[in-house]
Amino acid sequence: MSTIDKLQHPIPHTKAILAFVLLITLFSLTNGLDFKYSTFIDTDRPDFIFSNNSNIAYGALQITPDTRNQDPNYTTNKSGRVLYKETFKFWKKDRTIIASFDTYFTFNIQPLTNPGGEGLAFILTNNRDPPMNSSGRWLGITNYTMNHSPLNYIVAVEFDTSKSYTDDVDGNHLGINVDGIDSMVQYTLTDFGVNLSSSSDVSVNIRYDGASRLLDINISMVANNTSRSVSLPIDLSLFLLQDVYVGFAGSTSNRTQLNCVKSWSFSSPDIGGGGGGPKNLKWISLSSLILIPIGAIAVFWWRKVRKINPVEAVTRASPVAKHCEFRLEELRMATNNFSEDNILGVGGSGKVYKGFMIGPGRDVAIKRLNNPRLSEKAFEAERETVGRLFHRNIVKLLGWCSEGDESLLVYEYFHKGSLDKLLFPSEANPADDVISRCWETRLKIIRGVARALEYLHEWCEHVILHRDVKSSNVMVDDEYDARLGDFGLARRVEPVGATHHCTDTVAGTMGYVPPEGLNENWVRKANDVYGFGVFVMEVACGRRPGNPRTRPPRGEGYIVEWLWMLHVNDMLLCGVDHRLEVLDGEQMKRVLLLGLACCHPDYERRPSMSTVSLVLAGLASPPDLPNEMPNFVWASTDGG
């Protein structure tokens, strides 16, 4: 781990020592899952679960077919998995106790074409078998249907030898994936002397601390020890069921390579309980007598030699600290002194400019906050929320600038821009034929926003409320994947486990704000769900939402009430955007019913974002709706 990484991801001293003591104590109680293979031979075969294309040969686990004695075409478009035969318990007690693990392995990737393709991955999963059609860019991890499905319980550290996606940093990178192929975060290896496709052995050490939820990865070339180390704070238990398999996945495409693992060790303490007899109690007592005094001495010594300011330690520990702090002069140059010609959009908190950063050589989107009174709150809200988030469907914060009265945020740039400009073209923003006509593409965008909100509501340590879900805050990348952005109104719900946030102002955009949001000072996850429901209608119907306060009740101007009237009259599909080519009317109807369910006047009747994702994946039916639009009933303001 580099010095910078150590500064950015320290573990509090006392907790680190106590975690160390606890870890050793746990190992003294039980073996847990613990194995080591310095090479692989035929007699090891019963220890593993092999997919059809995997095998043991030449002293290694061949994750995809080895072709030294076969037709080279046999390697094309293949995927494979090798898992250890036993599972280990990764968490218990509602994820309050999470296992740590430590694994070392050496792999070798030998290209058979120039360039090779596609890659290898270390995986933790609850699914023994690889999905069908998971070759090529899917790396044996998932396929088109299962990608980001709530049932795709998998975490992967990928070693990718191909730039298969526009967002891939290059064709030689390490990525961390959850429930799909899209990496939450990627790290190039090219600048660190690590070449995955060199036909040379590569060594990897992956450690996960269940107490601090910190993932550490070190990858190095065996021949010359050139390496890169990365750390990521992440709660892996949120993406896996309790009993987890560990192993490897890999794939080839028309470009092929040999993917083999030459050695592997894995260890994790048993957190599942069991035993507990006098012999175990004896070991606990003995371990405590020996280790606790050692831990106390270590804590005392560490505090004495490392006198760090507590505020400094918190700053260093913050994941936000890894983003860049830009100078104002850099951003002026990038935007041609904030030229009007560079404006991408104007919002309530400021203007967004297109810029070009000469250093990294990339386009960026620069948000310049313009209200001194509100900008500080919006600036901190975005920096402290989106700056800590790692998700495929959330816009990435690249850095910020705070000089004098200027507060600016720097984001990744998307050439296609925001969804509203694609849905509602103008002379300045010509129509996009794919968005205009293809329902599957629009549905893909809806699913992406749903996954982003599910992540904010269910997967983060603290619930994060976006509070301004709408089409103009959804960016579209070159693959037509959705990226939820503009976290200026977002709030993190405190403390952990709380369900609502208290506010003194109405937050959001009229038309997307639920009825209770106009009259009370509580903001809940259900508020975001309502905004998402309006967003679904907007995307499916190709119609702006309107404003419920600007016309008589139950008029045709407000999209929610308009669609309710169509539903009541059994004419729901008449609301679909006439430009769309819809091949599956029943699917479209389910999506529209889901949108209405999300906009139920009673917030307690709205589905969670987890349920929404299941419905959109075709794994659940939308909630039942009444035959008449329910009236809004004033609820208590206890924040429930």
CA atoms within 13 A on the CB side of 315: 5
**Rounded distance between C-alpha atoms, residue 245 and residue 27, angstroms:** 20
Name 330's Cβ contacts closer than 8 Å, sequence gap at least 6: 357, 359, 401
In DSSP notation, 191-236 reads: GGT--TTSSSEEEEEEEEETTTTEEEEEEEETTT--EEEEEEE--G
Neighbour tally for 587: CB within 10 Å? 15
Report whether 422 contacts 476 (CB < 8 A): yes
DSSP track, 230-269:
EEEE--GGGGS-SEEEEEEEEEE-SS-EEEEEEEEEEEE-
Please report how many Cα atoms fall inside a 13 Å half-sphere around the Cα of residue 503, on the Cβ side: 22
Q: In one letter, which amino acid is 428? A: A
Rounded to an integer, what distance in angstroms lies between the CA atom of residue 155 and that of residue 176? 8
Coil, strand or helix at 482: strand
372: phi then psi, degrees, rounded to nearest 5: -55, -35
Q: Reply yes or no on whether 468 is catalytic.
A: yes
Cβ(114)–Cβ(417) below 8 Å:
no
Backbone angles phi, psi at 593, to 5 degrees: -65, -35
Please tell me the total number of residues recorded for the chain in this structure. Answer: 640
Pair 222, 97: CB distance under 8 Å = no
Q: Where are the alpha helices (DSSP H) in 148-203?
A: none
Pairing of strands 33-37, 257-268: antiparallel
- Tell me the C-alpha distance between 544 and 420, whole Å: 9
Question: CA–CA distance from 11 to each of 15, 212, 288, 292 (Å)?
Answer: 7, 7, 22, 19
The answer to whether the annotation marks 89 as part of a ligand binding site is no
Report strand pairing: 324-325 vs 397-403.
parallel
Q: Which secondary-structure segment (H or E) carries 561?
A: helix 559-568
**Structure token pair of residue 177:** 């994936």
Residue of 270, 468, 477, 486 with catalytic role: 468
Residue 448 CA to residue 451 CA, distance in Å, equals: 5
Question: Residue 80 pairs with which residues in a beta bridge?
Answer: 250
Q: How far is residue 596's CA from residue 208's CA, in Å, rounded to a whole number?
A: 42
Active site positions, annotated: 468
Q: Enumerate the known binding-site residues for ATP.
A: 367
